[in-house]
Every structure is written in C-alpha cells, then in structure tokens.
Amino acid sequence: AQTVTQSQPEMSVQEAETVTLSCTYDTSESDYYLFWYKQPPSRQMILVIRQEAYKQQNATENRFSVNFQKAAKSFSLKISDSQLGDAAMYFCAYSGGSNYKLTFGKGTLLTVNP
C-alpha cells in the first residue's frame, strides 16, 4: 500500500523568509502524481502544486516550488518570500494506480511570524 510521510508536524518561518516542508512516500508504481494541498482555517482544500512522476523537471507555481527526488521518493515543498497568508496546514498527497485514490500525509502546520 502506498504511504505518505510528513515528518514535521509543525514548522514556523519569518515573513519574507524561505521555508521547506518535507514529504516522503512509498510506492511500487512507476507512474504517479504528487500534490501539495493547503488548508487554511476555513478548512477548504486548496491545491498548491502538483508533479507528474515521469517529468524530471521540478514543478513551480510562483513562490512555491518542489524538489522532486524520484529515486529517494522525496517531494519537498519550498515556499519563498513567505507571507502571512501562507499560514495553514499543508498536506502532501500521492495518487497512482488505476483507482486514482489520493493518499495523504498527516500534515504540517505552518506558522508565519511577522
């Protein structure tokens, strides 16, 4: 079974600084997708960034980028120029196989200090 591990239950960063959230996963699939979701206090699940496993190039969305290391099964999220609005719970998620289930990590609570 696929598993997703987020080893940092909580992280904090100073406004305008950079922070990296860690995620590792386990799978026997060769083709899969990885996601980072943001959940603010409103509890809405917001897609931050996604990565296709067969693409070697790391995905980037404005201030958000990933470091995808397929061999190491690692998928970290880097947030540059952190803003107060980035404070939220962040979930790493995996999707692979034919049933398209999303498997989530336990989440990392990010605090942004002014």
Partner 1 sequence: DAGITQSPRYKITETGRQVTLMCHQTWSHSYMFWYRQDLGHGLRLIYYSAAADITDKGEVPDGYVVSRSKTENFPLTLESATRSQTSVYFCASSVGTGMGGYTFGSGTRLTVV
* DSSP annotation string for 15-84: TTS-EEE--EEE-S-SSEEEEEEEE-TT---EEEEEEETT--SPPEETTEEEEEETTTTEEEEEE-S--G
Min CB(61)–partner 1 separation in Å? 13
Which C-beta is closer to partner 1: that of 28 or that of 99? 99
Min CB(39)–partner 1 separation in Å? 8
Which C-beta is closer to partner 1: that of 11 or that of 80? 11
Min CB(17)–partner 1 separation in Å? 26
CB neighbourhood size of 37 (10 A): 21
HSE-CB of 25 using CA atoms within 13 angstroms: 30
Which C-beta is closer to partner 1: that of 17 or that of 29? 29
Q: Hey, what amino acid is at 58?
A: N
Q: Which of 8, 33, 36 is nearest to 92 (CA)?
A: 36
Q: Which residues bind partner 1 (CB under 8 A)?
A: 6, 32-33, 35, 43-45, 47, 50, 52, 91, 95-96, 99-107
Which C-beta is closer to partner 1: that of 22 or that of 80? 22
Min CB(9)–partner 1 separation in Å? 8
